[in-house]
Amino acid sequence: MIKSSVSGRRLSELTYKDIHSVTQHQLELFFISCISFEIQGLVVMYGNKFLPKLSENLLEILEDNEFYDITIEVDDGILVHIKLPNILPETFQIILRYIYGGRLSLEEYDTSDIIKILITANELNLQELITHLQLFLIENKKNWMEQNFNLIFKTSFNNDSFLELQNFCTELMSNEPEKIFNSIDFISLSEKSLISLIQHDKIQMNVIQVWENVLKWGIAQNPGLPSDPSSYSKNDFNALMNTLQQFIPFIKFFNLNNKEFLSKVYPYKKIIPKDLRENLIQHFIDRPNNKPESNIPRIITFQHTELISKWIDRLKITDKINNLYEFKLILRGSRDGFSASKFHKICDYKSHTILVIKIKDSNEILGGYNPIIWKSDGSCGSTEDSFVFSFKNKENVENHILSRVKVAGYAIVNDPNRGPVFGAYEFLLDNNNSVCVQNPVYYEKLINDRGIFSVEEYEIFQIKKD
């Protein structure tokens, strides 16, 4: 009698969950003796041609489309019957080739087929293959998964073993939610999935964008609704209200501005609970000037803050950062003004500040980090930890230049007639709503073309660890 050293049970008693833990030799013997598989109602049997071919080349058997009708029995005539009702026959063939041959050329398969292989590997508890498939998808099929987010989200969170895919979904929800909202299967997202997305603590999206996409999803669930809410009937509003009632508590309506509320929310006021609706009307219409200014960054995204946090801690780009810095907005040009006097009034004697500047008529972002306090006395600030940087566009954080200070004694200039100044006036925000970039003297490298550029917006954040 053949016994398994792994399970301690006869091989004829093994279930498909045990297959992955048996040695190669035992597998060969197992598939000779336990010969019948039921896969989606199809009984697949190998017979007396199996053993001779097995000694020649196991992979040839698996690549042979012929099925054999002779059954080999073990013990007292008992045929072991393994039932795999959730697995496609063609997918099982791929898995068998992997088990026997130890190789799997994923480039041959469509992404949807790789997902099926992953689910099958999970059914069979093939942990090494599960990890390999997830990493392959993340490294090679990122765009496809973003466009088919609903499928990936449901697949990953329905299986506890798919931790890499779960992390992929969580990071996408936080860092690039617009890719989910723009995916081809967005309107197919489940209510639970969409709520999970919009209530994410670090979602990098304006409230009005969240609201518009929730509306888009809700209207898609009710295909009979007119496109213009002014033509909605009472039943139309009730249908949309019933669809979206679980989402309303997670929309931060009070962070909208008056224009956004009046044009995008007010036409749908009947789907908002009465108490909240009355508070919003009082807030935006009766007392429109009392709305607190949103502190959400307008120039940079969560991806930028994560990368800047790594620069501050002198980590590599590939390193993981466990405790991100909190970016607290203390100055915004369009809100507080662009003058040097306003900068010094707000920022003097504050340390650990990040400057970010959006260049007018461009996607470029320039910035700098000052770990010491700003002053207005004309002195030079000394630090070894300041740096300046640039991003060629907002969408791609990988296209950046980082330049650290190399002469600590001239890292910062506290010029009372200008905004923030780094180095020998190498990078500065001037008093006339412009930014100047010069050849580096006290910093490592040039972060942008030399010249003077108009500023569309600038923000200064004070940072601290969460």
Residues 348 and 426: their CA atoms lie apart, in Å, by 20
pLDDT tens digits, residue range 218-230?
A: 999 999 898 899 9
d(C-alpha 132, C-alpha 306), whole Å: 27
% of the chain exceeding 90 in pLDDT: 38
Q: Could you tell me the domains of the chain?
A: 11-161 (3.30.710.10), 206-290 (no CATH), 302-465 (no CATH)
Q: Which residue bears the tokens 């617009």?
A: 178
pLDDT, tens only, 112-142: 888 888 888 888 888 888 888 999 999 999 8
Q: Please, what is the average pLDDT of the chain?
A: 79
Of 407, 402, 450, 406, nearest to 426 (Cα)? 450
Token pair in block for residue 124 = 């069979």
Q: Are 184 and 148 in contact (CB under 8 A)?
A: yes
Residues 6+ apart with CB under 8 A from 455: 333, 338, 357, 358, 359, 360, 429, 433, 434, 435
* Span 150-205, pLDDT tens digits: 888 888 888 888 989 888 888 887 777 888 888 888 888 888 888 888 877 666 67
Percentage of the chain beyond pLDDT 70 is 77
Give 297-341 pLDDT, tens digit per residue.
Answer: 889 987 898 899 999 999 988 887 777 788 999 999 998 999 999
What confidence score (pLDDT) does residue 76 get? 52
pLDDT at 23 over 60: no
Is 93 within 8 Å of 42 (Cβ atoms)?
no
Residue type at 264 in one-letter notation: K
Cα 339 to Cα 46, 135, 331, 336, 432, distances in angstroms: 83, 50, 11, 9, 7
What's the rounded Cα separation, in Å, for the pair 89 and 44?
Answer: 9
Residue-level length of the chain: 466
Long-range contacts: 274-278, Cβ < 8 Å, 24+? 276/248
- Is a pLDDT exceeding 70 seen at residue 37? no
pTM over 0.85: no
Q: Is the pLDDT of residue 399 over 70?
A: yes
User: Hey, CA dihedral for 80, 84, 90, 95, is it positive or negative?
Assistant: negative
pLDDT at 258: 84
Collapsed DSSP state (helix, strand, coil) of residue 377: coil
**How far apart (Å, rounded) are the C-alpha atoms in residues 318 and 156?**
24
| pLDDT tens per residue, range 146-157 | 888 888 888 888
| pLDDT score of 430 more than 50 | yes
Q: In the chain, what's the furthest Cα-to-Cα distance?
A: 97
421 residue type, one letter: V
Residues 45-86: pLDDT tens digits? Answer: 444 344 344 434 444 544 555 443 333 344 454 455 556 666
Task: Report DSSP state, residue 270.
Answer: G
Long-range contact pairs involving 105-110 (C-beta distance under 8 Å, separation at least 24): 106/133, 106/136, 106/140
